[in-house]
Amino acid sequence: MDDLYREVIIDHYKNPSHRGTLDPHDISFADNNPLCGDHIQIDLRVDKNEIVTEATFDGHGCAISQASADLLVESIIGKSLEEVRKLNKQYILELLGIDLGPVRLKCALLSLKVLKAGVYGLGEASDDLVE
Ligand code: ZN
């Protein structure tokens, strides 16, 4: 892993700027990555035009999963729900700026899976959401 990107990830892990929950919220979803023990909850508030006005994450797990969630929620404030539905694996990889093996990829993609399951109003998250 490149040292510069490693620093960005560790910084977002140790000092996340969007950790917390929103009460009330318009959208909330949570899921786990059992392979690593990561848990992520994402809460959103959206306005009448379906633009994300506030976004937070809460949870625990490895640095990649938590940093990915912090970067993701930060990046979607101001986006429409339609834009959020189109986010894919590549988007997360660009936010993190590193190449990941298959195990770490699951950690990185958990936040996107949770976000999209929430935005689509699904009962449970599926890997199809983050292809
Ligand atoms: Zn993990």
Q: Is the pTM of this model over 0.85?
A: yes
In a domain, 126, yes or no: no
Residue 6 alpha carbon to ligand 1 centre in Å: 15
In a domain, 31, yes or no: yes
Per-position pLDDT tens, the chain of length 131: 556 668 889 999 999 999 999 999 999 999 999 999 999 999 999 999 999 999 999 999 999 999 999 999 999 999 999 999 999 999 999 999 888 888 899 999 999 999 999 999 998 998 999 98
How many structural domains is the chain composed of? 1
pLDDT for the residue numbered 2: 58
Residue 63 alpha carbon to ligand 1 centre in Å: 7
In a domain, 75, yes or no: yes
In a domain, 89, yes or no: yes
Q: Please give the DSSP secondary-structure letter assigned to residue 28.
A: E
Tell me the DSSP string of 72-92.
HHHHHTT-BHHHHHT--HHHH
Residue 36 alpha carbon to ligand 1 centre in Å: 5
Task: Give the Cα separation of 67 and 131 in Å (integer).
Answer: 20
In a domain, 129, yes or no: no
pLDDT for the residue numbered 98: 85
In a domain, 84, yes or no: yes
CATH code, domain with 23: 3.90.1010.10
